[in-house]
Amino acid sequence: MGLDFDSARLPNPYLTAEHEEWRTHIRRFFDREVIPFADDWDEAGMIPEALWLKSAAIGILGLGYPEEYGGVQEGIDIWHKNILNEELARIAVGGVSATLMVHGIALPPLIKYASEAISQTVVPPVLAGEKRISLAVTEPEAGSDVAQLQTKARQEGDHYVVNGSKTYITGGMNANWFTTAVRTADAGASGVSALLIPADLPGVSRTSLNRKQGWWCSDTATIYFDNVRVPKANLVGEENCGFRVIMSNFNSERLAMSAAMESSARVCLEDAVAWARNRKTFGKRLADHQVIRHKIAEMKQRINATHAYLQVVSAEIFEGRESAADIALLKVQCSQTMEYCAREAMQILGGIGYMRGSRIERIYREVRVNAIGGGSEEIMRDLAARQLGL
């Protein structure tokens, strides 16, 4: 039994030859177009515009979206999506997937709840890599507490007038649209609505948040709305029912993050094993020291448990039985496993792992954003407890 990225993955009886062809297809693309340059992009703080068009051309951006909007939906299942997130994690520059794939959290609410006119305007150019969209929910004061957001939208004729701000918005500096949570009534979840806000409307401004611990090449912003007049036709779903709109895609986001985090743990294992087999200390390989072997065995043990949980949760979704509680707990399991493996791999590599340019170094500084983004570990545990009737 090997201990590299692929061999450390448990067998999956659901995968077919078509799934493996998809993995080969996108891995070749990433090996050719992304991995040789990803570290430089991270250092530069941005990814090239051409990557969106190239990613659209090979089917990455449109995976799982309706054909009428330019996507590929027929025959696509949860395993295709997990494989994509695995291969994105193998790049080990989280900012690439965070920005390139941010439409995955901003488009689904539109497709499910917005008017056909909105969907036809927005979805095709985003899936073609020509335009971009971001999800604008988090606020400076409310944080992850969506029900307490304060950005207000008051009706004025055929428009909503929006005032407030959003922060930590992935893809925010270059987005053409924002799927935005706003307050249209009293406090609480029942007063939240969702609006599609074009970024070029008068009164919309933004500032870059570029002093981040990780995801350096990810475009992150604070968005300001100053008396922004948004047509009422841009309401997504019904007024005061936006909480359901915004929450509808969180399970999908958390599962995608879980698949990526489990895969990041396998990247750590692969690089730690390769180093331990070749590095010599005190007259023998690192791998010949019992303490190192135990670290690697513990990493594999935790990866096995995490990957098995990921498979069970994914299989439930595949069979049409989605559990919000298990998805929440899976995300916690995956972030903890990623953090443990990043730490142990860093210990095994020593000084070289601390230097920029190492996959381990990049993953290590991206642990926290994964543990917090999409719902923190604490919020996920509490959500699971409530879902389980406690």
- Spans of all domains in the chain: 17-127, 133-242, 247-387
Fold of 247-387: Butyryl-CoA Dehydrogenase, subunit A; domain 3 (1.20.140)
| Residue 164 buriedness (CB in 10 A; 0-12 / 13-18 / 19+) | buried
The pLDDT value recorded for residue 144 is 65
pTM of the model: 0.95
Q: Where are the alpha helices (DSSP H) in the chain?
A: 17-33, 35-44, 50-57, 78-91, 94-100, 103-106, 108-113, 116-127, 242-247, 250-278, 290-318, 324-349, 351-354, 359-364, 367-372, 377-387
Q: Do domains 133-242 and 247-387 have the same CATH topology?
A: no
Quick one: pLDDT at residue 1? 54
- CA-to-CA dists, residue 359 to 86, 258, 297, 338, 364, angstroms: 15, 19, 20, 13, 9
Query: How high is the pLDDT of residue 43?
Result: 94
The fold adopted by the segment(s) 133-242 is Butyryl-CoA Dehydrogenase, subunit A; domain 2 (2.40.110)
Q: Which CATH class is domain 17-127?
A: mainly alpha
Tell me the average confidence (pLDDT) per consecutive run of 10 residues in the chain, 390 residues long: 88 96 98 97 95 98 97 96 98 96 96 96 98 95 79 96 96 97 90 97 97 94 98 96 91 96 98 94 92 97 98 96 96 98 97 92 96 93 93
The whole-number pLDDT of residue 104 equals: 96
pLDDT attached to residue 145: 75
For residue 63, what pLDDT is reported?
A: 97
Strands 220-231 and 204-208: antiparallel
**DSSP, residue by residue, 179-193:** EEEEE-SSSSGGGEE
Q: Are 247 and 205 in contact (CB under 8 A)?
A: no
